């Protein structure tokens, strides 16, 4: 702040993926940032803050005074459309590929597939993978078939940063769901069945299972970011229960990714000991 005063400049600080910060640190860092100016009585306001979240419900985990500060100005942004993704992808094509090596139809297909989730990073990875498939053939141009191959090999919610951002128990629950669905080959599993498998997973990784209420919160949180699909049971099922499924991700692929991530974490933990 002293440097900003000395240079007479204003800083706009934008923090993306704030859900992860809230999970790890709760209110403290956000509270400190929003209160900086209070310690500068009489001095110019030098700092403006932009916090970017996928789901506003994470704000409810903050203390009330911090929430009151943040909720003065809320801007809800829609997911990227196919046209917007094309605008985002085109400069990357110009930088990363030789001239005229990406067919217009291929770029449009990448944007259309990415537009289903509105996720720009997913679309960028699709473009990158499509280029790698074209290289491997080898092909002089990236074509629509290369894009289709890329779409079949990558899933938007399985990239490393998404898995890393999950808490250990969210990973346990997701692994329990994946194992349950892989074994049953059903589209959905009851939350009770998943909870039993979750307890087994916790035992496998030497951790204490959380209670039912917390498991339900995990399911809601994972549903909010598009990993889990939840629905109520219909006819043929006694009573009403919550059914859980996976969103456009094979259960076997989800299981393999989570087991690899949890194994790596356990090895690091043992090395530290």
Instruction: Give the tens place of pLDDT for each residue, 2-51.
Output: 899 999 999 999 988 887 777 777 777 888 888 887 777 888 888 888 88
Instruction: Give the tens place of pLDDT for each residue, 158-171.
Output: 666 677 778 899 99
66 pLDDT above the threshold of 60: yes
- Count Cα neighbours of 50 within 13 Å in the Cβ-side half-sphere: 8
CATH code of the domain occupying 82-154: 1.10.8.60
CA distance readout (Å), 122 to 87, 127, 243, 273? 15, 9, 27, 37
Most confident of 64-68, 235-239, 266-270: 64-68
Domain extents for the chain?
2-70, 82-154, 160-272
User: Residue 27 is encoded by which pair of tokens?
Assistant: 């209110």
Report the alpha-carbon distance of residue 217 to residue 220 in Å, rounded.
Answer: 5
User: Residue 101 is encoded by which pair of tokens?
Assistant: 């090596």
User: 205 near 262, Cβ under 8 Å?
Assistant: yes
Summarize the confidence of residues 241-254 as an average pLDDT.
Answer: 78
**H helix runs in the chain, sequence order:** 2-7, 18-25, 28-34, 64-70, 82-96, 104-117, 120-136, 144-153, 160-165, 168-184, 191-204, 212-224, 251-272
Beta bridge partners, 230, equal: 244
Report the alpha-carbon distance of residue 56 to residue 186 in Å, rounded.
Answer: 32
160-272: CATH architecture:
Orthogonal Bundle (1.10)
Report the alpha-carbon distance of residue 37 to residue 4 in Å, rounded.
Answer: 13
Among residues 60, 263, 242, the alpha carbon closest in space to that of 163 is found at 263
User: 258 near 171, Cβ under 8 Å?
Assistant: yes
Q: pLDDT confidence of 237, banded at 50, 70, 90?
A: very low
Instruction: Give the tens place of pLDDT for each residue, 84-142.
Output: 999 999 999 999 999 999 999 999 989 988 887 788 888 998 999 999 999 998 899 99
Phi, psi (rounded to 5 degrees) for 50: -130, 120
Better-scored residue on pLDDT, 42 or 71: 42
Instruction: Give the tens place of pLDDT for each residue, 136-156.
Output: 988 999 998 888 888 877 765
CA distance readout (Å), 247 to 42, 131, 202? 52, 26, 23
């Amino acid at each position: 702040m002293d440097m900003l005063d000395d240079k007479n400049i204003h800083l706009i600080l934008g923090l993306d993926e704030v859900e992860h910060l809230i999970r790890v640190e709760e209110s403290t860092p956000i509270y400190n940032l929003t209160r900086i100016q209070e310690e500068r009585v009489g001095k110019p306001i030098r700092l403006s803050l932009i916090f970017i979240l996928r789901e506003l419900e994470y704000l409810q985990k903050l203390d009330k005074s911090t929430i009151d500060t943040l909720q003065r100005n809320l801007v809800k942004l829609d997911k990227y459309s196919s046209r917007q993704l094309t605008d985002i992808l085109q400069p990357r094509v110009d930088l990363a590929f030789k001239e005229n090596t990406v067919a217009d139809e291929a770029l449009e297909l990448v944007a259309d597939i990415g537009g289903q989730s509105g996720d720009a990073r997913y679309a960028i990875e699709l473009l990158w993978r499509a280029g790698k498939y074209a290289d491997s053939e080898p092909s002089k141009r990236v074509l629509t078939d290369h894009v289709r191959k890329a779409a079949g090999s990558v899933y938007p919610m399985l990239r490393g940063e998404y898995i890393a951002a999950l808490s250990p128990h969210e990973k346990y629950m997701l692994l329990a769901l994946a194992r349950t669905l892989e074994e049953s080959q059903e589209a959905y599993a009851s939350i009770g069945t998943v909870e039993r498998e979750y307890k087994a997973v916790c035992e496998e990784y030497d951790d204490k299972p959380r209670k039912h209420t917390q498991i339900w919160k995990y399911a809601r949180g994972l549903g909010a970011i598009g990993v889990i699909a939840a629905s109520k049971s219909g006819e043929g099922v006694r009573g009403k229960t919550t059914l859980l499924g996976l969103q456009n991700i094979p259960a076997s692929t989800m299981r393999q990714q989570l087991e690899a991530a949890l194994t790596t974490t356990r090895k690091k933990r043992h090395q530290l000991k």
